[in-house]
Structure 1
Amino acid sequence: MPGPIHKLTDTKIEAELKKARTAAFKGKGKPILLGDGGGLTLQISRSGTASWLHRYMRHGKPVGLGLGPYPAVSLKAARKKAEEIRQQLAHGKDPLAEKRAQQAEEKLAATSTTTFDSCAATYITDHKAEWKSAKHAQQWTNTLAMYASPIIGDREIGSITTADLLRILKPIWLTKNETASRVRGRIEAVLDWATAHGMRTGENPARFRGHLEHLLARSTPEQRAEKHHLAMAHEKIPNFMVELSKQDGMSRWALEFLVLTACRTSEVLGAQWKEISADGALWIIPKERMKAGKEHRVPLAPRAQEILEKVKPFKKGDGVYIFPSGSEDKPLSNMALSMLLRRMAITGATVHGFRSTFRDWVGEKTTHDHRTAEAALAHKLPDRVAAAYARSDLYEKRLAMMKDWAAHCVAGVA
């Protein structure tokens, strides 16, 4: 089969480019196509720049495949590229699809040295803004560093396999099922992110449904059960509060405030003066600081209001936080209250467990109803239909309940 009849020469191309640039300078530039034969075409833009294009038909439709700019790609080089394309077409291949596949392989090869640890770090940085707290990002970092990094941390992200996942998960799947499930989910998210960024291809080896669920032993309900925080018996609370009143420091006031309000540690430590009403009887926690992402109104019993008055003198100028750390306007650390319990030699109880203590007291010693107690704890109703109709936050009922709880707690405090 004879080759194409070449119609262009370097001299002719330069002459046409000179005309095009002169026309562009006068504001009369227009696109020009110069055919060399066999589909090879030099396209000249309105501004006088030029690039090579190979034109061919594929499934009855015209296709244009770029071969690079002129003169970076010479006439001789363009003809060689065009001949390679004609050979591909003669063998039933699609040159455009072949080019895209090659580009994808080159991109994957360029990123193949990206490790799991570096991808995980970038993923966490990219998603910090959508997470509710810095603590959540730290949990991601800690769990991946502890369980994933020793096995796949320095591995290329595209080379991680199902076997790697099993090496990570099997040792903890039955003994620490909740932790193992979180680790698996976080690895899956990082690998999905890497796939979306063209760093790996194929199925996600961390996928559970239809994949790892068939390779990991089924855990029992007991193994899957949430480990509840140790809680103090409600009968012991009055004596505990007496001992707490003998302690010094900001942690002592923060812990008492936490017990009286039945709020979470992060909610109390992050409490700000602007969240307290003018009369000091109401604390409104914004949705951004709530686990459920919904604003929470907390009625403050007289003793809780007294605590606010006790710590107000420690406010420095325009200080933001109610329970600041030292002389700086920063909240107490997450460990401050736990360390206080340790100094008091309190065993068998945790800071978070005081919420359970409050809930047990309501159910066993009062006539306050279940829904009011759940509202005080800012729990979501498990029944979505019921939740849709439960528009009230039962503030008045909760006010009465929190006053009763405070009276129980401080019964022995002078």
Structure 2
Amino acid sequence: MARVTKPLSQTEIKAAKPQDKEYTLRDGDGLYLRIKKNGTKLWLFDYYRPITKKRTNMGFGAFPEVSLADARRRREEARSLLARGIDPQEHLKEQHASALAEAANTFSAVAERWMALKKTKVTADHAFDIWRSLERDVLPLIGALPITAVKAQTVIAALQPVQSRGNLETLKRLIQRINEIMTYAVNSGLIDANPIAGVRQVFQQPKKKHMPSISPEQLPELMSVLTTASINLQTRRLIEWSLHTMARPGEAASARWAEIDYDAKLWRIPGDRMKAGREHIVPLTPQSLAILEFMQPISGHREFIFPGVKDPKVPMNSQTANMALKRMGFGGTLVAHGLRSLASTTLNEEGFDPDLIEAALAHIDKNEVRRAYNRATYLDRRRKMMEWWSEKITISS
């Protein structure tokens, strides 16, 4: 006949005193209390491992922190696992490892790892803008969540305020960036699938619109206003530099002295600052060189040609030109990026080779063979075109 163990009582446990040797009080079904010589009372559970059938035990904690009822509940959970062929100690280790992984793989932590990789594929300015947008609108709300807890409804709730502000372009970019982070998590083995792949369908979509610009006929008006406008001289020179070089606002504002090749009269923008990740070479006209000559006493001893007004160790903000154009009366009709459209329209109307214009704008030809040929042969022809464009700007002044 099997031995029947009388279950322990709360009174019996409390009354148990330490002795010269350790001893145990059994509750049955493998659960017992070990009384140590120093008076510590530890809950233990005896069982046979499902595969090896070797006898072992696992601890449930100390009394009274772990009560009799808690110890019994843990025993039943362990017995339930054993009935399904699961070793309760191994199960506990897996849960602990999973909890550690969740703590280490928050959305913010995964986003940082994704950003480290993203930086190698985009310009430094673009990388800064990406991370700043996440810090402003996403990370404060879901950054602390485990990546496994980021669901569609979580992201929708976090992005609703952005839609409410009417920032639909910002919303579109944020959804794209969060999706990239979640796809990175899938590819890293952290989650099985991207649960927010269709989130963009829940929100309003921004209407496509071209960057505000002006017609070639309005160039004289722009140059007249620019000459007399009450704006910072460095900002004026930055706008002129953008016009003459046809560079993107961020590329123009972050221009460095080290990128200028005076002997060859070229501005060599490294690939890590370009949208397409490829070096872009801009022929410098006499007017462009005159702008550099003007800036030399101001910033020639610094890294950036157009340094920030408040902090000259950093470049002028790429939005500075936009704010200046708005103060000059061009709000809603012209932005800094629109200066490129103005140049493109003018040059196309003049009959210049469209491939030259596209090369000057640093647009990448999808045909790799023709792209390699263009890079090798267009520079001299582009210089003549840029000189014509600079003369056109000067005449309009």
Q: Same fold judged by TM-score > 0.5?
A: yes
What letter corresponds to residue 339 of structure 1 in structure 2?
M
User: Is contact 2:133–2:174 with CA below 8 Å preserved after alignment?
Assistant: no
Q: Superposition pairs for residues 244-263 of structure 1, below 5 Å?
A: 244-247=226-229, 248-263=232-247
The equivalent of 1:119 in structure 2 is: 109
What letter corresponds to residue 128 of structure 2 in structure 1?
A
What letter corresponds to residue 349 of structure 1 in structure 2?
L
C-alpha displacement of 1:272: 1.9
The equivalent of 1:40 in structure 2 is: none
Counterpart secondary structure, 1:345: helix
User: Is contact 2:365–2:371 with CA below 8 Å preserved after alignment?
Assistant: yes
1:233 to 194, 215, 231: 215
Q: Distance in 2 between matches of 1:182 and 1:377?
A: 23
Give ranges in structure 1 of 5+ residues lacking alignment. 1-55, 69-86
| Residues 106 and 246 of structure 1, relative CA distance in 2, 3 Å threshold | same
C-alpha displacement of 1:123: 4.1
Q: Superposition pairs for residues 12-411 of structure 1, below 5 Å?
A: 93=85, 102-110=92-100, 112=102, 118-119=108-109, 122-123=112-113, 126-127=116-117, 129-130=119-120, 131-143=122-134, 145-146=136-137, 149-150=140-141, 152=142, 155-167=145-157, 172=163, 179-192=170-183, 201-208=191-198, 216=201, 223=205, 226-247=208-229, 248-279=232-263, 281-315=265-299, 318-326=301-309, 328-347=312-331, 348-364=333-349, 366-383=350-367, 386-387=370-371, 390-392=374-376, 394-411=378-395
Give ranges in structure 2 of 5+ residues lacking alignment. 1-48, 59-78
Q: Distance in 2 between matches of 1:102 and 1:237?
A: 73
What letter corresponds to residue 269 of structure 1 in structure 2?
A
- Structure 1 residue ranges, 4+ long, deviating more than 6 angstroms after superposition: 87-92, 195-198
Q: Distance in 1 between matches of 2:169 and 2:90?
A: 43
* Count of residue correspondences: 328
Q: Matched residues, percent identical?
A: 26
* 1:350-402 superposed Cα distances (whole Å, 9 cap, x missing partner): 011100111111222x1211111000000012455654664535111111111
What letter corresponds to residue 287 of structure 2 in structure 1?
R
Q: Distance in 2 between matches of 1:363 and 1:390?
A: 18
What letter corresponds to residue 227 of structure 2 in structure 1?
S
| Residues 125 and 263 of structure 1, relative CA distance in 2, 3 Å threshold | closer
User: Is contact 1:284–1:296 with CA below 8 Å preserved after alignment?
Assistant: yes
User: Is contact 2:283–2:379 with CA below 8 Å preserved after alignment?
Assistant: yes
CA RMSD of aligned residues (A): 4.4
Q: Distance in 1 between matches of 2:262 and 2:378?
A: 21
Q: Distance in 1 between matches of 2:135 and 2:313?
A: 32
The equivalent of 1:8 in structure 2 is: none
Q: Distance in 1 between matches of 2:235 and 2:396?
A: 20
Q: Distance in 1 between matches of 2:152 and 2:202?
A: 15
Q: Distance in 2 between matches of 1:324 and 1:170?
A: 37
Q: Distance in 2 between matches of 1:90 and 1:262?
A: 72
Counterpart secondary structure, 2:211: coil
User: Is contact 2:266–2:281 with CA below 8 Å preserved after alignment?
Assistant: yes
Counterpart secondary structure, 1:331: coil
Q: Distance in 2 between matches of 1:90 and 1:231?
A: 73
C-alpha displacement of 1:226: 3.7
Q: Distance in 2 between matches of 1:321 and 1:218?
A: 40
| Residues 202 and 323 of structure 1, relative CA distance in 2, 3 Å threshold | closer
User: Is contact 1:116–1:153 with CA below 8 Å preserved after alignment?
Assistant: yes
What letter corresponds to residue 314 of structure 1 in structure 2?
I
What letter corresponds to residue 359 of structure 1 in structure 2?
S
| Residues 88 and 207 of structure 1, relative CA distance in 2, 3 Å threshold | same
User: Is contact 1:276–1:283 with CA below 8 Å preserved after alignment?
Assistant: yes
